[in-house]
Chains A and B, each alone.
Chain A
Amino acid sequence: MNKKIVRTLCLGTLVAGVVPQVQAEDLTVNRLLASQCAQCHGTNGHSVGSIEGLTDESYKDLYEDLMDMRSEDRPENIMDHQALGYTDDQVRRIAHYFGTLSGKAGEAPEFKD
């Protein structure tokens, strides 16, 4: 792992600690949820292989992508099926975590009721 990645990881954790999007949300809970993405997408989204990384994802885009996957009429991709395993709030927390790491948590998604 190179120094740039290390700095990103540390900065990510730091930002996550001081800019909570939702009042009094336990960000370590989001971190735990999001860590389940790492087996395929790399530690904190730093992919080393052909599967796309998650280091450049914004809160809004990732949330909307995951919600789209959850609402496929006929889920066929592995990610459609992964996304279907999580609740809306869990998807939001995961998206918030990666959006915070990339520094793109500023713009919140439009939440579906």
Chain B
Amino acid sequence: MSMNRRRFLQACGASAAVSIAPTRVKAASAPHVVVIGGGFAGATAAKYLRMWSDRTIDVTLVDPNASHTSCVLSNLVLNRRITLKELKMDYGSLSSFYGVNVVRDRANKVDGAGKRVRLKEGGWLNYDHLVIATGINMINPPSIDYKLTPHAWIAGGQTNRLASLLNKVGPDSTVIMTIPKSPYRCPPGPYERACLIADIIKRKGLEGSARLQVLDANSSIQAEKHTFENAFNNLYGNIVEYITDVEVEDVISTEGRVVTRTADYVGDVVNIIPQQRAMGFIRNAGLTGDGLWASVDPLTYASTVSGFDGVHIIGDSQATGQPKSAHMANAQAKVCVDAIIRSLAGVPNDDPERVANVTTASACYSPITYDQASWLSAVFAYNTESGQMALTHLGEADRWSTGNYRQMFGWASNLFTDSFH
């Protein structure tokens, strides 16, 4: 064991006793980590950086909004089981309890060589490490008007708008929803939404009259295949028409018209979930190369692009191929935080003991009906041969149940709390 490493291990224990309250005054030499984006990835990173360093690292969290609205559970706003308000997470705990410096601003430029990031209002901010967690950006069909045909794939005003549109579904109505090619945010999410829309139709007594067309750009169901196939073919067999390999080319929102390569589809309610990519902030910095997502080393989530020493990308924006979900974003944040703390302590991140134990876990519950849910479990571990995260075990629920529906809220409350409180 090297001296550095011994000190590092001692630090993890010894300083804990004196760190009950966050300290506001820092030595001039305290390392500074800037986190851009206060969703699940960014909030978890900010919290765990403070917690695991025993508050010896200064953390600034930058987000343009005063709170984050969770996409997790947001399909339940569509069938009025919950309200959008219940999904709002503020940054109060992060700032007052953990001592994170929360700044309401928007980052617009990274200077990799100078190790600084520019904020729209606040100017340049220096960092020792920069964590970018800015989520997704939509690739809009050229003519789309989201006021008429919302995506509702980032929880917010569009979610309420889609809920209102679905409320008006009547006899003989056609609802259309589209699913983008993978990878996109939340692999089971669109299929879960299709089930809830079908359930809305069913509960209105419109089974056999109103219908839901699901246009999937993929060749098959992308997650929980057993569950959703069963739901589409049996539970909602008279409502859902599931069509594969349909890529959206344009959307004429005023006509409810979805233009695809093979045919036009016209609906009374149209929900377009567009293709997605990393935010412009990341792409413009050159962190995605020619691609849509940022390439990173999954041992540290550090960018693989040269010239960006100490720049990490976590959550939906990165390109490791792990599912883009809040649960995974939280998981990756912890691996990234661990790597940053080690790096600042001079402890190598490629130590074999660590490398053999870098894992990320995903669990998620999908509502299938008004009061029943299914679940998906996935664990990933670092594979030394490929240098990538590889699935070690995947499982899904045998059947949907009311017990799973109840447990879904237990899962969500801990996920929300572990990330934001």
Contact = CB atoms under 8 A, between A and B. Distances in A.
Interface of A: 1, 3, 6-7, 9-11, 13-18, 24-29, 31-33, 35-43, 47-51, 75-76, 78, 80-82, 84-86, 89-90, 93
A49 B418 CA distance: 12
B1 A90 contact: no
A51 B392 CA distance: 24
A39 B415 contact: yes
Interface stretch (B151-159, B219-227, B374-382): B374-382
Contacts of A82: 361, 363, 377, 379, 393
Nearest to A90: B357
Contact of A81 (B14, B54, B393): B393
A50 B353 CA distance: 34
B303 interface: no
B358 interface: yes
Given A1-B93, A86-B379, A81 B357 contact: no
Interface string B22-59: 00000000000000000000000000100110100000
A26 B359 contact: no
Interface of B: 1, 5, 8-10, 12-14, 16-17, 19-20, 48, 51-52, 54, 93, 97, 327, 330-331, 334-335, 338, 341-342, 351, 353-354, 356-361, 363, 375, 377-381, 392-395, 397-398, 406-407, 409-415, 417-418, 421
Nearest to A10: B16
B414 A84 contact: no
Contacts of B17: 10, 14
B411 A36 contact: no
Contact of B361 (A7, A28, A36): A36
B393 A85 contact: yes
B334 A36 contact: yes
**Among A1, A47, A85, which residue has the most Cβ atoms of chain B within 10 A?**
A85
Contact of A13 (B16, B351, B356, B411): B16
Given A10-B19, A43-B417, A49-B414, A36 B331 contact: yes
A11 B20 CA distance: 10
Contacts of A31: 12, 52, 338
Contacts of B353: 25-26, 29
A16 B13 CA distance: 7
20 contacts: A14-B14, A16-B12, A17-B14, A28-B341, A32-B334, A39-B330, A39-B363, A40-B411, A42-B414, A43-B417, A48-B413, A49-B410, A49-B411, A81-B395, A82-B361, A82-B393, A84-B392, A85-B361, A85-B379, A86-B379
B13 A18 contact: yes
Contact of B334 (A26, A35, A41, A47): A35
A75 to B, nearest CB: 6
A76 B398 contact: yes
5 pairs of A and B residues whose beta carbons are closest in the complex: A17-B13, A85-B379, A81-B395, A50-B410, A49-B413
A42 B338 CA distance: 18
Nearest to A47: B414
Nearest to B330: A39
A48 B359 CA distance: 24
A36 B379 CA distance: 10
Contact of B392 (A3, A38, A85): A85
A29 B357 contact: yes
Contacts of A27: 9, 12-13
A28 to B, nearest CB: 6
A84 B395 CA distance: 9
A93 B357 CA distance: 9
B16 A39 contact: no
B78 to A, nearest CB: 23
Contacts of A10: 16-17, 19-20
Given A75-B395, A85-B392, A35 B354 contact: no
A31 B8 CA distance: 14
Contacts of B410: 40, 47, 49-51
Given A48-B414, A49-B414, A85-B379, A13 B12 contact: yes
Contacts of B393: 81-82, 84-85
A42 B48 CA distance: 13
B324 to A, nearest CB: 15
Contact of B414 (A3, A24, A41, A89): A41
Contacts of A29: 353-354, 357
Contacts of A7: 20
Nearest to B406: A50
Given A49-B411, A81-B393, A17 B10 contact: yes
B395 to A, nearest CB: 3
